[in-house]
Structure 1
Amino acid sequence: MHYKKTGLIAALLATVSATAVHAQEAVQDEGLGGDIIVTSQKFEQKLRDVPITITAVTQEQMKRLGVDDLDELSNYVPGLNIQEQSANNPGIVIRGITSDSGSAQQAARVTLYYNGVDISRSRGAYQAIYDVDRIEVVKGPQATLFGTASTIGAVSIISARPKPGVSGELTAGYGNYNAYLVGGHLNVGNDVIAARVAGEFKKRDGYVENLSPTQDDLYAQNQLGLRASVRYTPTPALTVDLIGTYDRQRNSGTPFISKRFATSQGPGNPFGAANLSGSPLSRQVFGKDKLGLTRDVYDVNLTARYDLGDGWSFTTVNGYRKFDSLEVFDADGSAAWWLEFAEGAYGAQLSHESRFAYVGDHVRTSFGWNVFHENNRQEVPFSTEEGIYLQCAANLIPALGCVSATGVVTAAQATSILTKGAATQIPYSSIFTNKGINDQYSMFGEVTWMPVHQLEVTAGIRALIEQRKSGYVSIAPNSVLSKAPLIPGQVTTKGTLWSQDSFQAFLPRFNVLYRLNDAVNLYATISKGRRSPVVNQTATTTGIIPEETVWNYEGGVKLSSGMFAGSLGVYYQKYRNFQISRTVTDANDPSGRPVGSSITESAGTAGNLGFEAEGQLRPTNWLTLFANGGYIDGGIDKTKANGIYAGNRFRLQPRVQWAAGLTVDAPVGNGIRVFATPSVTYRSKIYFEIPNKEAISQGPVTLVNVKAGMRFAEGRYEIAGFVRNAANEKYLLDAGNTGGGFNDPTYIPAEPRFYGVQLTGRF
C-alpha cells in the first residue's frame, strides 16, 4: 500500500508539473498567508500581526483544496481535528481537547462561533460552510475574545457579506455513490442597501451496505443549507447586518458495526456490510420508523457597528439559535432487537454582546459585556425485546448464543424458552432525559499599548457569573422476566429532579508582539481557560464536578517576506480538574448514571506540550506550495492521584499530523486557465476513548486528495474534477460508542474514495 500511495502522489505531481509549463501570465490571488485580514481580536489585522497562534482559511483556499465540510478542513489545520460522527454529533478537537458531549448539563470547551455568536452546544453546533468569507481557527484560551467556552481555542466561521453590485455563482456536481450537489449565491445591492442569498443542497447514497430488509443503506446524506443576508449602510459611520440561516439534515443511519456479531456475509467487519434492523416498534417508541437523523437548525443574527469618531466605535452582536434533532441508532451493531436507542436534542440559545473599541497611535482598547442564555434537553429513549436483551447481555442459555455465525438472531428464541412457551416476545422500553438551563453574564476588557512601532503589549480579563440549573427525569419500568429495569442503574424518578448553583471566575490573557523587522514578528502569550463546572443531577445523586482550568504558555514567530509566508508556535498547557467523558459500563458506577450513558468527571491533572508550523512558498506567479504540521505530547499526568486515568493520552488527538501540497493555476491562452491542487494529509495513531484501549484505537492514516480543472471566459465558467481519499484508505472514524458500555464496542468506517465532477458559472 505504501508503494501504491507513493506512486499515486508522484503521478499527480508529475501531471501538475507538466500542466504548469504552459503558464504565460500571472494569476491573481489574495496574497500570501501573512496578508490575510482577520478579525479574531475584534479589529481588522493582518494575520502576521496577531500575537496568538491562529490559522485562517479563505473561501478561495477551500475551493482550491476541494474542501466543503468542517471535518475535511481540519485535515489542513495543525492542532485541529474534527470528527463528524453525524451532523448531530460532531467532535471538535483543538490541541487534544475534545468537545462533543450531548448532555444538556455540560458546557463546551471548544467554542464554535458563527458570525460572532457562540453556537458551541454540541447538538446544535454543526454548520455547513458554503459561501463563507473565511474560517479562523484560534488556538489557546481566548476568554476575552470568544468567551468562557473557548477553554482551549475557537473556530470562527464568518459568512460572506452582501456588497454593492450584482453578482452570482452557481455550482452543480455529480459523483460516485449517486452524489448530487447544487449550491451558489446571488448578490444585489448598492452602497446603501445590499442583499445576498446563498444555499447548498447535498445528497448522496449510503456508502455502507445495510443487509436489513427494513432499513436503508447507512451514512447516506441529505442536507440543505440556506442563508439570507441584508447589509444596510445609511451613512459611512453605520453598518447593520441581518443574517438568517436554516440548516437541515435528513441523513440515514450511522453504521455502528459490531465485530462480535456476524452477518449473512460473514464475521463482523467494520469495512464490510452491516445488518442494522433497528426496533420493530421504532415509530411508537422513538417517533421515527427508520434509523437516521432528522435535524433542523434556525439561526438569526443582528450585528451593528457605529463609528463614533476620534478612533472610537461601538459594535453590538445579537443572536438567536434553535435546534431540534432526533437521531435513531442501532447501538449493538447487529440484526438483534437488543440495544435500540434514539437521541432527541432540543435547545434554544440567546446571545447579546456589546463592545466599545478605540484605535489610536499608541493605544488600542476594547471593553464591553455579554449575556448568554440557553435552555436545552437531551432525551434518550430505549427499545428492546426482553429475552433478546437478557440473552445477548448475559448469555442465560449458553447453547443459544445471541447471533449465529450465519447472522441469524438465535436470541429471538430466548423469551419462549424462558417462559416455557407462554410468550414469544415481550417488548420493553424506557427513557431518560437530562436538562440544562444556563445563564451567563460577563464583562470584559483589554488594552494594547504600542510605545513604539516595533512593540505591542496587551493585557485583558473577562469577569463572569454563571447560573447553572440541571434536571433529570427517567421512566424505567420493571422487566417482566428480570423483575427490575433492564438497563442497570436506570430507575424511575417520578418527575424531574432539579439542582442548581452559581459560579464566578476571572479569566486573563497577556500578549506581546515584537516586530523584529518588516518581515519577522515575534509573539508570546499567557492565558487562562476554563470549562464551566457541571451541576451533575442524576436519578439518584446530586453533585458538582469542579471547573476545569488551564494555563496556556506559548510563543512563536511569524514571517512574511517575498515569496514565503509562515509561522512557528510552541506551547505548554497545564490543566487542573481535567474533565473527561466516558461511557458507564457498571451498574454500580459511583456516578449513579445508567449503563451505556455518557458521563463527565474529573480525571485530575493533565499537561500538554507541542508545536505547530505552517508555510507557504510562491516561487512563480502560477505555482504555490504549502505545508503545515503539528506535534503534541499531551495526556493525563502519570500520578497515583489520577487513578485509572493516569498516563492516558488525550482522545482523538494524534501525536503528529501534517499536510502538504501545491496549487498550479496557469493560463493557456484564449481566456482559458488550468488549475490543480494535489495534497497529502497524515495523522498518526489516535485513541477514541479514555482510558485508552488498543482495541478502541486507529493507527496512522494517510490521505491523498486532488482537485483539478479548467476555467473559461476569463473565469466565468469552470469545470473541475475531484478525488478525496484517492488511495481508498480504509480506516475508522470512531470506535467504542454506546455499545461499548454493554461490552459490545462498535466501529464506524470512515469515508471511502469519493470522486466527482463540478460545473460552475459566475457573473
Structure 2
Amino acid sequence: MHKFHLSIAALAGASVIALAAPVQAQDTAAQAPDAANSDIIVTAQRKQEKVTEVPISITVANQAQLERQQVNTMNDLNRIAPSLEIQQAPGQNTGGGGSIRGIGTQTFSAGAVASVGVVVDQVSQGNANISDLFDVSRIEVLKGPQGTLFGLTTSAGVINITTNAPDFHAFSARVRGELSDAGTAGSKFGNQVLQGVVNLPLASNAAIRVSGVANMRQGVNRNLTTGDLNDNDRYGVRARLLWEPADKLTVNLIGDYARARAENGGDFFTFIKTSTGVGSEIANCGLVAREGNQNYCTSQSYVGHTENYGGSLQIDYQAEPFTLTSITALRRSTETGYSAASNVFRADPLALQVANGPVNRHLSLFTQEFRISSPSDQFFEYTAGAFYSRQKQTRDPETLSVMLTLFPGMTIPLVDPATTGAGANDKIVDESLAFFGQGTFHLSPGLRLIAGGRYTTDRLSLDRYNYATAVASNTVLNVGNFSWKLGAQYDLARNAMVYATASRGFKGGQIATPSAPAVPFVVLPEIPTAYEAGLKTTLFGGWVADLSLFYQKIKDFQAQQCTVDSNSVISCVQRNIDGVKSRGAEINFFGKVFDGLSLNTGFIYAKATYPTGFVGTDGTVIGGTQLAYAPKYKFTLSGEYEVPVTSRFNGFLAVDTVWKSRIRYEANSRSETTFRPHWLVGGRIGVRTEDDRYSLSVFGRNLFNVHEPSLIQSDFPFGGAANIGAIYGPQSFRQVGLSFDAKF
C-alpha cells in the first residue's frame, strides 16, 4: 500500500506540472504514417509500406491496441499475436525469450543467441534484453526467417518495435498510469505503472522527445516468514533527438537507460506438488503445495540488481536516386547481487538446501549497419548492406552450495562452494560480419518476384577458468553461412494480394558451459528451411485479413533439457536436435472495422514436433509429439467499442482474451509438467473526453485467476513427478485496478 500511495502522489505532481503548460493537446502518435488514412504502414522490409503489400505474415499492434491491452513489458506480448510466445523464466530469457510458431530459444547458456530477434528503432538488441515497453508507436511480429534484411538472431522471426518520433511542430506532454493493489477488488498482487512523455521542438527542423516509466510491483511471490510480497521495481527513460539539417539528411540520436531491483529471487519457483516427506517438512512454516502457490518461507533477505542502457545514431541521406543509411549502436547490461537461484527452494524447514552465490555479469554489444535502398517506383527495387556486431559477456565465478541437514545440529555439504562448487570465470565473445541484400522485380503492375541473400561469418569464443578443477580452457567456433529467400507475389485486386516464399535462415552456434567436471562443448548452428504461402486483403475499408500456411524444418535445432542430478541440483544441458518441424496455418484480422470499433484477432494451428524416435528426459520416446513451450492451438482477441454518452464524453468497452491448448514444459511424457487448455480473459470499461485528451477506466486481467505458469520443473527437489515446482509471473494471477491517461 505504501508504494500505491506514493504512486498517487507522483501522479498528482506530474498532472500539476503538465497542466501548467499553456499548450494545445497533441498526440505525437497521431502523426504516424498509418494514421493519415485507413492503410496500416509497417517497416517489415526496412522501408515504409502498406502491410497488405508485404509478402510476409505479419501481426501488427499499433499504439492504441498496445495501450488498451496494457502491453507494458515484453512478457505481455504473448497477448498480441497467436504465433508469438514469450517465456521469460529467470536466467534463461536469451534475447527476449520469444518463440514464433513454436520455434524459439530457451537456455541458460551464456554464449547463446535467440531464434527470435528483438529490434527497437532498427537496432538489434542481441542479448541486452529490454523489459519495459513505453511510448511505443507500433510493434510488428514478423514470422519466419528474416536474415536477408535484419541483423542478429532472426532465424524464427523478428519482433520489430518502433517508438514514437519527436514532432517539430508543437510542444506536447502526456502522463498515463495503471494502478492496482494486492487484495483490493480481488487483485492477487499489486502493480503501479506510471509513464510520461514530453515532446519539445528545438527549431523548425529539430525536436527532442523524452519518455520514462516506473513499474513497481508487489508480488507475485509472498514470503510467509515476513508476510511481505516480493518487491519487483523497474525504472526506465529514453531520449530521442530528431534533426533534419538539410532537405535530404535526417539524423536520429537515441539514448535509453533502465534499471531493475528484485527481492528474494523475484518470480521464482514455488512448490505446487510434493511427496509426503517434503510436504510435511515445508508445512512447518505454513507452506502448502498446490497449483497457483504464491508462497515461500525464508528468513534470508537478498536483492538482485540489473542495469541496461545504450545509444544509437542513425543517419539517412537521400543521395538521389538512392537512400543511404548508417546505424551505429552500443548497448550494455549488468547483473549484480543475488540472482533468483541464490536460494532455489526458499523453504527454511527443508532438510535439503541448494543455493548459488552472488553474480557479477556484464554484457556489451556493438553493432554497425550500412544500407543502400533504391526508390520504390522502379522495375528492380532493392535494399542491400553490411552488418557487423560484437557481443562480449563476462561472468565472475558463481558458487554453488548444497547442504543436507541429517538432524538438528548435523549438516553436511553435498556440494562445497569452496571446492566442487567454486564456479568459473567466463569470457564469451561473439563476433559477426554479414553482407545482405533483397530485391523485388516488378514484372507487371500485379506480379513481383523476390530474391535475397545473406552471407554471414561468425566467430564465437569462450575463455574459461574453472576453479573447481583449476583448469583453463579456450573453445572457439568459426562458421561461414549463406542464407537466402525466394518468392513471388501477385495482386488479385486493388486490396488483395497472394504470395509464396521459400527461405533458409541461420542462427549461430553455442558453447555450452556445464558444471564441473564436464568441459565446455560446441552446440552447432541452427539452420531452418521455411516455406510460406499467404493471402492479404482488406475488409470494410480498412480491416486487414492476413492468412498464411507454413512449413519449416530445422537442421540442428538448439534445445535445452533440464533434469535434476544426484545432488538435487537442476542441471540443464544444451544439445542439437536434427529434424524438428513446425507446420500449420494462421489467420489474423487487425485494424479498424468501422468508426467506433477496433478489433484485432487471430488463430493459429502450429504443429511443432520432435523428430521420430526422439527420447525425452524421462527415457520415454516422444518423437512426433509437440515441442516444449509450444501450444498447438492459440486464439487471441482484443477489441474496443466506443460510443458517445454525452456531447463531451465517450464511453468505451475493451476486451482482451487469449485461449491456448495444452502446453508441456519439459521434454518428456510426464503429465504433471503440462498445463491444461485454458482461457485468460481481461478487459476495460471507462470514459474518455470527445477530443481523446483525458480518460479514466477500470481494468481487469486474468479475471478468472487461471494459474498459467512460466515454467514447471519435476524432481523439485527430487523424486521425479512426486515433487513439482513452478514459476509464476504476473500473467498467472488476477489483477484489477484503475487506469488513467492525460494529454497536454
The answer to whether the superposition gives a TM-score over 0.5 is yes
For residues 271-290 of structure 1, what are the structure 2 equivalents within 5 Å? 271-277=292-298, 289-290=301-302
The one of 168, 183, 200 equivalent to 2:173 is 168
Deviations 1:450-480 (A, max 9, x none): 02121121101010111110133333xxxxx
Cα shift at 1:363: 1.6
**RMSD, aligned CA:** 3.0
Cα shift at 1:75: 1.7
Cα shift at 1:651: 1.5
Contact 1:456 1:514 in 2 (8 A): yes
Contact 1:648 1:690 in 2 (8 A): no
Contact 1:274 1:333 in 2 (8 A): no
Query: Which is further off, 753-762 or 253-262?
Result: 253-262
- Give the structure 2 partner of residue 746 of structure 1: 725
Contact 2:126 2:365 in 1 (8 A): no
The one of 659, 668, 681 equivalent to 1:704 is 681
The one of 579, 584, 598 equivalent to 1:605 is 579
The one of 390, 405, 422 equivalent to 1:430 is 422
Query: Which is further off, 90-99 or 312-321?
Result: 90-99
Normalising by structure 1, we get a TM-score of 0.82
Q: What code does the residue aligned with 1:719 have? A: L
For residues 514-663 of structure 1, what are the structure 2 equivalents within 5 Å? 514-536=490-512, 539=516, 540-563=518-541, 564-586=543-565, 596-616=570-590, 620-639=594-613, 646-663=623-640
Relative to 1, partners in 2 of residues 1:740 and 1:153: Cα closer, same or farther, differing over 3 Å? Answer: farther
Cα shift at 1:338: 0.8
- Give the structure 2 partner of residue 400 of structure 1: none
Contact 2:84 2:99 in 1 (8 A): yes
Cα shift at 1:559: 0.8
Cα shift at 1:340: 1.4
Relative to 1, partners in 2 of residues 1:116 and 1:619: Cα closer, same or farther, differing over 3 Å? Answer: closer
- Pair 1:350-2:366 in alignment: yes
Q: What code does the residue aligned with 1:168 have? A: A
- Pair 1:318-2:328 in alignment: yes
Normalising by structure 2, we get a TM-score of 0.84
Contact 2:97 2:114 in 1 (8 A): no
Contact 1:386 1:427 in 2 (8 A): no
Is the partner of 1:732 in helix, strand or coil? coil
Cα shift at 1:435: 3.3
Relative to 1, partners in 2 of residues 1:273 and 1:605: Cα closer, same or farther, differing over 3 Å? Answer: closer
Contact 1:78 1:630 in 2 (8 A): yes
Runs of 5+ consecutive residues of structure 2 not aligned to the other structure: 1-29, 183-189
Is the partner of 1:452 in helix, strand or coil? coil
Is the partner of 1:73 in helix, strand or coil? helix
Contact 2:540 2:593 in 1 (8 A): no
Contact 2:291 2:707 in 1 (8 A): no
Deviations 1:199-231 (A, max 9, x none): 010112113321134x9534x321111001111
Runs of 5+ consecutive residues of structure 1 not aligned to the other structure: 1-27, 281-288, 392-410, 420-424, 476-491, 589-593
Deviations 1:491-544 (A, max 9, x none): x23254212131100000112221011121101111111221224465543543
Is the partner of 2:110 in helix, strand or coil? coil
Is the partner of 1:60 in helix, strand or coil? helix
Output the CA distance in 1 between the equivalents of 2:212 and 2:316.
26
Contact 1:33 1:566 in 2 (8 A): no
Q: What code does the residue aligned with 2:553 have? A: K
Contact 1:382 1:430 in 2 (8 A): yes
Q: What code does the residue aligned with 1:251 have? A: A
Contact 2:220 2:267 in 1 (8 A): no
Output the CA distance in 2 between the equivalents of 1:567 and 1:234.
40
Relative to 1, partners in 2 of residues 1:618 and 1:530: Cα closer, same or farther, differing over 3 Å? Answer: closer
Output the CA distance in 2 between the equivalents of 1:654 and 1:734.
14
Deviations 1:29-53 (A, max 9, x none): 9679982111110111011111011
Output the CA distance in 2 between the equivalents of 1:728 and 1:171.
26
Contact 2:118 2:160 in 1 (8 A): yes
Contact 2:394 2:428 in 1 (8 A): yes
Percentage of identical aligned residues: 22
Output the CA distance in 1 between the equivalents of 2:89 and 2:512.
26
- Give the structure 2 partner of residue 363 of structure 1: 380
Output the CA distance in 2 between the equivalents of 1:722 and 1:308.
50
Deviations 1:75-119 (A, max 9, x none): 220210112335973521111112232322222221111221221
- Pair 1:156-2:160 in alignment: yes
Contact 1:109 1:151 in 2 (8 A): yes
Deviations 1:527-581 (A, max 9, x none): 1112212244655435432222110001010011434421110100111112211
Deviations 1:146-184 (A, max 9, x none): 235111111111111111121110124421224322211
Contact 2:298 2:346 in 1 (8 A): no
Output the CA distance in 1 between the equivalents of 2:241 and 2:736.
36
Q: What code does the residue aligned with 1:503 have? A: V
- Give the structure 2 partner of residue 113 of structure 1: 119
The one of 657, 661, 684 equivalent to 1:680 is 657
Output the CA distance in 1 between the equivalents of 2:628 and 2:306.
27
Output the CA distance in 2 between the equivalents of 1:109 and 1:742.
33
- Give the structure 2 partner of residue 268 of structure 1: 289
Output the CA distance in 1 between the equivalents of 2:485 and 2:661.
32
Q: What code does the residue aligned with 1:436 have? A: I
- Pair 1:254-2:267 in alignment: yes
Is the partner of 1:41 in helix, strand or coil? coil
Relative to 1, partners in 2 of residues 1:95 and 1:458: Cα closer, same or farther, differing over 3 Å? Answer: same
Deviations 1:616-649 (A, max 9, x none): 4856422234421101111111136999663342
Cα shift at 1:597: 3.5
- Give the structure 2 partner of residue 50 of structure 1: 54
Is the partner of 1:681 in helix, strand or coil? strand
